[in-house]
Structure 1
Amino acid sequence: MGKSKAKKFKRQHFSPTGLPDSTDVQVEQEVENCCPAVELLEKLQDPCPDVREYACASISRLVQETRVIPSFLQQDVVRCLGPMLLDKSIAVQETAAGALRNLSACGGLEVCDAMVKQDILTPLAALLQECSSRLNRSLNTMEKYENGRRNRLEEVTTEAIHLLWNLCESSSLAVSIFNKEGLINVLVQCLQKHEENMDLAICSAYCLQTVTEDNPELLASFSASTLQILDVLIMQSAISMQHLLLRTLVAGCVWNLKGILSCTAQAEAVSTVARILSETLEVDAGQVIMELKQAESQKLAEVNASMRPREEDAMDEESMKICCVPNQGLEDMSDLLPPRDEELKQAEAVLCAQQTALEILVNMCCSEEPSDDEWEEVSSSDESDLCAETCICDSGTDNQMMSPLCLSSEVHAALIKHCVPEKVIKKTTLCNNVISEICFKIPSWKTLVKKMQRVQCRALTCIQNMLSVMDPDVLGDEAALRTVAEHLSQLLFTNLDPPREEEFLEAVTSAIRSLFQVLASRGIPQSLGSQQFLVFSESALRCSNPGVRLNVVSILGVMGSTLSKQAGTAETLHMIGNFLLQVAMKDPYLMVVGEALDAIFDVFGDGKEAELAARSIQLLPTLRNLQPLFRAKIRKEGKDKYSSDQLCVLDNVKVNLRRFIAYQESLQKS
């Protein structure tokens, strides 16, 4: 009971690269002066296209602040902006698509769902079909930006596809409409423009990866020509970090499409996907970031030097002072630099590529059993076939500790062949202080730190899944497993100030939990100090994320179960037992309470040291008092707050609690 499943990665609602900075001073001032939703929406009806464009652009900036989104929704912003997608002015189309994209990205799942229900996909699909038709025409007839900037029509298409991607990430209804409207053809067409417009191709690949996941209706309509296009893209060399990202995204699409391939083609596709992911993870992102930062600094120095007057045209001393004011040159040369820093774009691309690769691997290494929670549906101590004594003594040990391997031989072999497990482990150390310091020096590069942390979290989740579905030998022998355990422990206990984000804590404790279960099942001692982890556990109890608390409790259960079989451990078991009892009595989330009780069964189920510790913490009377309260909470909260699978688990805990109390009573009588 309480064993963690291999989790299928469910992407959180994603705010795409390129979303304007929400800290913009103008945005803050406009928000503080009360959001002019009514006035701006009225301007959308103005006969002058410049006024309509201004209104769309203003809305686009304002909705980056989530606190103003409700006021716009109350004024029916979606239905007001929808017609602007088909405006006669291409500038209005672009800014309207950008405003809706920002609304979908910053508003979250509920706002996206509301946008779909308010029929935003009807004008969006019409716009995309129109863009597709116009993209087929000769480039010479297309409207272009002044000063040689890229085609305006492609800008509109990029914004529209970003919006489509956000909606399909959040709404199954949006995916159904996508299928019905045949928008797959638009995405494939835009993918083929990667040599001319990489940004357009990348956002199309992101969207394609999203809509091909768990979408049998779409997969059934895939043509051989479309598959061939993907095959060509995935086989191309990664000549830049953006190419690396595009190829990784296409690999994700191929993985989603493997079910429609023949057996032979499917085996080849799996091998190719594993190779691509391995090559993506092999890139040293930290080194790439450092080199790109140096290249950017060199470019700025060259531009700065080109702006200095020649000696024969020397200015007077006062003019020279003005020219050389520190940091002022950076602002003055902004018009001479590209619209978006190319080095930063490439740095973002390598991190996005590695995040995507790890997310694909998480899904490759997961159980096919559908479940939204991490608890096994069946207790490790099923009441139907185990007596009370056997239930208590055997729970949490040996073959009960691990889920059965459920990874296909083709996938398993491909991941081993391309050394994927070792490369995943390396990605858990991507975010180091040296690289972070480099990124923090310039505001626009600070976002890379968050992206590096996200890659680290995905790598930790991937380790958890690999341990759940692959033979642990893929990580090496006993010494190698202990090395991985020490590495994960260092990640947990290093740099505690400032406190790490909950996403990281859940990821690292999940990985440690899975690895410790492997070590315990093989009788390999773990190296994590009990005292040190207990100190951490006390602080983890204050974490609002129940997943972190659940993992901590489970880890203590594995540690305590191992210690109970060793001599002279009664004092440590006393501390672990006290902690677990506190969780069982006070945690507000019943699943964590259940895990704490399950850990108690494991720790105090057998052994002389466990018996001594159980008496010293008054385990039996405490559990007797807890039993009716636990039952009452299940009756009161169960149906309203927990799924049927979770209730099944809690019922098993309730049964095992009764058995464990009876078992402890029998020990006292003997």
Structure 2
Amino acid sequence: MGKSKSNRFKRPQFTGVGLPVRHEEEEEEEEEEEPTCPAQELLEKLQSPSPDVRELACASISRAVQQSLSIPNFLHRDAVKRLGPLLLDGSLAVRETAAGALRNLSACGGPEVCEDMVKKDILTPLTSLLRECCAGLEASSLSTTAQKHPVEDVANEAVNLLWNLCESSCQALSVFNKAGLLDVVFQCLETHTHNVELALSAAHCLHTVTEDNPELLCSINVAALATLENILGLSSPDMSHYHLRTLAAGTMWNLKSSLSAARQAHTLSAVAATLSQCLALDTGVLIPQLREAEKARYALGVAAPSVDTGSQRVGGGTDMVAMEEEEEEGAGHKRNGKRPVKDDFSDLLPRDKGELRDALALLAAQQTSLEIIVNMCCSDDPSDDEWEASSSDDSEAGPDTLCDGLSGLMSPLCLSADVHAVLVNHSIPEKVLKKTQFPCREAMEVCQQNPAWKCLLKKMQQVQNRALTCLHNILCAMDVESLGGAQALQGAAQHLSSLVFSAPEIPKEEEFLEAVTSAMRSLLQTIASTNLPQCMSPQQLMSLSEAAMCCEVVSVRVNALAILGITGSTLAKEKGTADTLQMIGNALLQVASKDPNLVVNGEALDALLDVFSDGFEAEKAARNIQLLSALKTLQPIFKSKIRKEGRGKYSPEQLCVLHNIKVNLRRFIGYMETVMKT
């Protein structure tokens, strides 16, 4: 996709609707006679007897569907069914551009479009195409020439389409398993010695299809594992190979349960070493160096001519920035970092952007590394926005059975001894903490000065956000000594505080807020459990809370409330803190009574119970804010909201936590009534 086809024809420039400029007047005349839809016209050209016309139509569709508003026009006219047969067209160029158009449609349309494509049986021609590509790859491997076989470009588009579908559709994943496509993708992966672009596409696909897919594990053979281990052992300094190695490491982690005990230890060490080496790369130094190398190459006139991007998913440079803005994933990303629409565009850049491709590969490799570490530190517990349940004995639970069988979900994150050891031995916690820093000023300036490089700004921010999420999981899963002891924790606390409070205003970007408040919450909890002094002043605490309460993301508000609760419960043990506790108590009561989300109401009440559960200062503050009266007023409202809203809007795990808070609130009111009488 997007390759030069000078041996056949030179692709013309495109108008806004993807039609050749030289035909613009002719098309306008036709529209005057009988107005037609550009989508319909392009789809009709797919039936042309001329391969060049079919290829041009596919390329134009590929460009058009990059604009999400145009996608329904194509879907309503059976674009998938019309493009599908062209995957097996007699012309390799048509196959490539048809696969590219479908790839763009799946990537820009998102999960719903992918599901629709699977329902329309796009996987049948795609599977046939992939098998034919592999036959071509086998023939190419026997050739004595070093040239890349044309079928590899077709395979690259096909594998990317398969990757998109399997990431978004369970049905596609099921077809992948049953059709035996694993061998096909591994064959594409083995091209890494001469075609890293195709190998990267295959590695992405493998990383996706091997996650949470036990049905596939029995298909993994010794040769496949040897291929992955060979890639892990690559020593090339090329950034694309770093990215390839991290994806292979993620696949090996996904396959760990299929390995023998003897092989697991070796593999785990190789995975950790790969991730550690990738995170050790300093983007603040490398990105400016890459940009300088590009400028020097241009000054010497060495740059290759610009390549047409007619069939590319994203047309490079500023178009990439626009697409990234449209595809912004929001703050609610999963723990494993999977996104509904992928944002790796490095294989779609023109060939004269080699240094920019390297920079993108570097950042993608580091983001992937961090996401793998997140999973390594994760058990199957719910994320923090589902909370850990307060304890309550079975006698208080009553007839409600929501909590039955959920005790395992409420346990803390934990690491096996082997995982714990390799993370510590390879200094993963320290390297993750370093990646939580704001992007280097020099690297930011380099990217801001060149339109084509501006796409890296968001990538650098995403690496920071993933590092913060990763730090949160590490803090939840490791003990204090493994994290470097009390001094290291206090240093980390000061660092996180500087991220939030160094600017005149607290950053409002939702994904950053979610990641940084999660990390702060975990760190403050760890500090509190070791009786270390807290790192935030009351003024900072309240300003963070106020900023978080304005955020629409529920987990950000929940994290801020938990931070208030943790800090308040620590302050309650100190003398002269009643005024601060009073301020915290009023803030929590305000949220408990007025926030529209029941989960947030519950977290505010839970934090109140933590802050005012014990101590002279807490008792004094509770009297001043008339806490008992306020809680008695809130109690029936909270119970009513659980009964009316709970089952329809919240998960069983969340309802279990809400039920526990309801029980603990009743107990706490009884305790407060006794205290206030004395």
Q: What TM-score bracket applies, with the shorter chain setting the length? A: 0.7 to 0.9
1:588-667 to 2 correspondence within 5 Å? 588-667=596-675
SS in 1 for 2:203: helix
CA distance 1:559–1:359, change in 2 (3 Å) = same
Distance, in Å, in 2 between the alignment partners of 1:591 and 1:580 is 13
Matched, 1:67 2:69: yes
C-alpha distance after superposition, 1:287-313 (max 9, x if no partner): 111111110010111118999xxxxxx
Aligned residues of 2:592 and 2:601 also touching (Cα < 8 A): yes
Contact 2:283 2:443 in 1 (8 A): no
- Is residue 45 of structure 2 the alignment partner of residue 37 of structure 1? no
Q: What letter corresponds to residue 117 of structure 2 in structure 1?
A: M
Comparing 338-347 with 598-607, which one deviates more in the overlay?
A: 338-347
Q: Aligned pair 1:352/2:364, yes or no?
A: yes
The CA deviation string for residues 341-360 of structure 1, in whole angstroms up to 9 with x for no partner, is 11011111111111111111
The answer to whether the Cα contact below 8 Å between 1:143 and 1:151 also exists between their aligned partners in 2 is no
Contact 1:512/1:555 (8 A) holds in 2:
yes
RMSD: 2.8
- The reply on whether 1:490 has 2:498 as its aligned counterpart is yes
The CA distance in 2 between the partners of 1:545 and 1:66, in whole Å, is 25
CA contact (8 A) 1:285 1:430 kept: no
Q: Which residue of 1 aligns with 2:166?
A: 168
Pair 305,50 (structure 1): closer, same or farther in 2 beyond 3 Å: closer
Q: Is the 8 A contact 1:367 1:469 kept in 2?
A: no
Q: What is the aligned partner in structure 1 of residue 28 from structure 2?
A: none
1:69 & 1:271 partners in 2: Cα distance?
45
Q: Residue 141 of structure 1: CA displacement?
A: 8.1
- In the TM superposition, 1:473-512 aligns within 5 A as 473-495=481-503, 499-512=507-520
CA offsets per residue over residues 584-639 of structure 1, 9 Å max, x none? 11222211111111000001111121122222222222222222221222122211
1:363 paired residue number: 375
1:102 and 1:405 mapped to 2: Cα distance? 38
Is the alpha carbon distance of 1:64 and 1:27 closer, same or farther for their aligned partners in structure 2, counting shifts above 3 Å? farther
Distance in 2 (alpha carbons) for counterparts of 1:67 and 1:151: 36
Q: RCO higher in 1 or 2 (8 Å CA, sep ≥ 6)?
A: 1
Q: 1:91 to 1:556 in 2, by over 3 A?
A: same
Q: Which residue of 1 aligns with 2:240?
A: 242
Equivalent residue, structure 2, for 1:459: 467
Note if 1:382 corresponds to 2:384.
no
Q: 1:343 to 1:627 in 2, by over 3 A?
A: same
How far apart are residue 499 of structure 1 and its match?
4.0
8 Å contact from structure 2 (residues 500, 507) kept in 1: no
How many residues align structurally? 599
Alignment partner, residue 177 of structure 1: 175
Contact 1:457 1:508 in 2 (8 A): yes
Q: Distance in 2 between matches of 1:267 and 1:479?
A: 31
State the Cα deviation string for residues 125-163 of structure 1 (Å, max 9, x = none). 11111111111113798999xxx8x54321111111111
- Fraction of identical pairs, as percent: 55
**Counterpart mapping for 1:428-443 below 5 A:** 428-429=436-437, 431-443=439-451
CA offsets 1:255-312 (integer angstroms, 9 cap, x no match) = 11121111111111111111111111111122111111110010111118999xxxxx
What does 1:24-103 align with in structure 2 at a 5 Å threshold? 27=16, 36-103=38-105
> Do the aligned partners of residues 34 and 591 (structure 1) sit closer, same or farther apart at CA in structure 2, a change above 3 Å counting?
farther
Structure 2: how far apart are the matches of 1:64 and 1:136? 34
Q: Which segment is superposed worse, 292-301 or 427-436?
A: 427-436
**Structure 2 CA distance for aligned equivalents of residues 306 and 201 of structure 1:** 23
Shift of residue 50, structure 1, vs aligned partner:
2.2
Q: Which amino acid aligns with 1:79?
A: K
Corresponding residue SS for 1:303:
coil
Match of 2:210 in 1: 212
Pair 1:282–1:356, CA change in 2 (3 A): same
How does 1:226-625 map onto structure 2 within 5 Å?
226-303=224-301, 339-369=351-381, 371=382, 374-376=385-387, 379-384=389-394, 404=412, 406-429=414-437, 431-495=439-503, 499-625=507-633
Cα distance in structure 2, aligned partners of 1:143 and 1:44? 34
Q: Do 1:41 and 1:80's aligned partners in 2 also have CA atoms closer than 8 Å? A: yes
* TM-superposed deviation, 1:383: 3.5
CA separation of 1:422 and 1:553: change in aligned 2, threshold 3 A: same
Q: So what's the TM-score if we normalise by structure 2?
A: 0.84
- CA distance in 1 between partners of 2:274 and 2:140 (Å): 34
Task: Give the 3 Å change call, closer, same or farther, for CA 183–663 of structure 1 in structure 2.
Answer: same
Compare 443-452 and 660-669 and name the one that shifted more: 660-669
Q: Distance in 2 between matches of 1:306 and 1:40?
A: 31
Whole-Å Cα distance in 1 between the matches of residues 142 and 219 of structure 2? 33
Residue in structure 2 matched with residue 11 of structure 1 by the alignment: none
Q: Partner letter of residue 394 of structure 2?
A: S
State the 1:407 CA deviation. Answer: 0.7
The Cα shift of 1:67 comes to 2.1
Q: Structure 2: any 5+ residue segments left out of the alignment?
A: 4-12, 20-34, 306-348, 398-409
Scaled by the length of structure 1, the TM-score of the pair is: 0.84
Contact 2:303 2:352 in 1 (8 A): no
- Hey, what does 2:8 align to over in structure 1? none
User: Aligned partners of 1:613, 1:381: CA distance in 2, in Å?
Assistant: 25
CA distance in structure 1 between the partners assigned to 2:232 and 2:88 by the alignment: 34
Instruction: Give the Cα separation in 1 of the matches to 2:545 and 2:565.
Output: 12
| 1:142 to 1:80, Cα distance in 2 relative to 1, 3 A | farther
Counterparts of 1:43 and 1:606 in 2: how far apart (Å)? 77
Any conservation in 1 of the 2:304–2:352 contact (CA below 8 Å)? no
1: CA distance, partners of 2:279 / 2:484: 19
